[in-house]
């Protein structure tokens, strides 16, 4: 049994952990999104620890102002323009629609999966590291069956 002081210290430290604000997606209540969230990694890439978020079916890695965010339940994209196939270390292939705003923010949205998963990489992250860590999300994303693929 833990000492009462240890429980209080644990509660206080948990209260200090950052919470990242992430807008909830339209279909976040889809049951498969719960499966996706249970499969997300504790660390993304090299050194981006998972942190708490304030919305259902969301995840984040990093710190406030420099966090990669993920939302399950976004509207699936209709077209496969800018579609890229990304293979993970375990051989899982995920098709992503990749967009950038030209100012360093990148959006990755799964293609051919409903509900879709969206990952946003802010400039504070994209300027310092490669976005190849999206392959780390394959175990989570594959919880949603692929119905279409990049051409």
**SS3 breakdown of the chain: % helix, strand, coil, rounded to 5?**
25, 35, 40
For residue 18, what pLDDT is reported? 83
More confident residue, 7 or 27: 27
Binned at pLDDT 50, 70 and 90, residue 16 comes out as low
Number of C-alpha atoms within 13 angstroms, CB side, residue 146? 17
Which helix or strand (DSSP H or E) is residue 84 part of?
A: strand 83-87
Question: Would you state the pLDDT for residue 81?
Answer: 74
Contact 148, 122 (CB under 8 A): no
Long-range contacts of 97-103 (CB under 8 A, 24+ apart): none
Handedness of CA 109, 138, 60, 116 (dihedral sign): positive
Domain range annotation of the chain: 25-141
Residues 132, 89 contacting (CB under 8 angstroms): no
pLDDT tens sequence across 34-84: 999 999 999 998 789 999 999 999 999 999 989 999 999 999 998 777 899
**The pair of three-digit structure tokens given for residue 85, joined into one six-digit string:** 């196939």
Q: Could you give the percent of the chain with pLDDT greater than 70?
A: 89
Which of the two residues, 13 and 19, has the higher pLDDT score? 19
Model pTM? 0.86
């Amino acid at each position: 049994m833990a000492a009462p002081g240890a429980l209080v210290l644990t509660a206080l430290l948990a209260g200090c952990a950052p919470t990242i604000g992430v807008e909830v997606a339209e279909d976040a209540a889809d049951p498969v999104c719960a499966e996706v969230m249970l499969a997300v990694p504790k660390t993304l890439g090299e050194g981006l620890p998972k942190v708490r978020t304030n919305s259902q079916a969301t995840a984040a890695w990093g710190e406030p102002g420099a966090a990669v965010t993920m939302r399950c339940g976004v509207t699936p994209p209709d077209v496969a323009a800018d579609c890229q196939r990304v293979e993970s270390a375990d051989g899982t292939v995920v098709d992503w629609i990749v967009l950038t705003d030209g100012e360093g923010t990148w959006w990755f949205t799964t293609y051919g999966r409903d509900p879709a998963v969206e990952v946003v990489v802010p400039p504070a992250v994209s300027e310092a590291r490669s976005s190849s860590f999206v392959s780390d999300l394959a175990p989570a994303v594959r919880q949603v069956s692929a119905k279409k693929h990049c051409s």
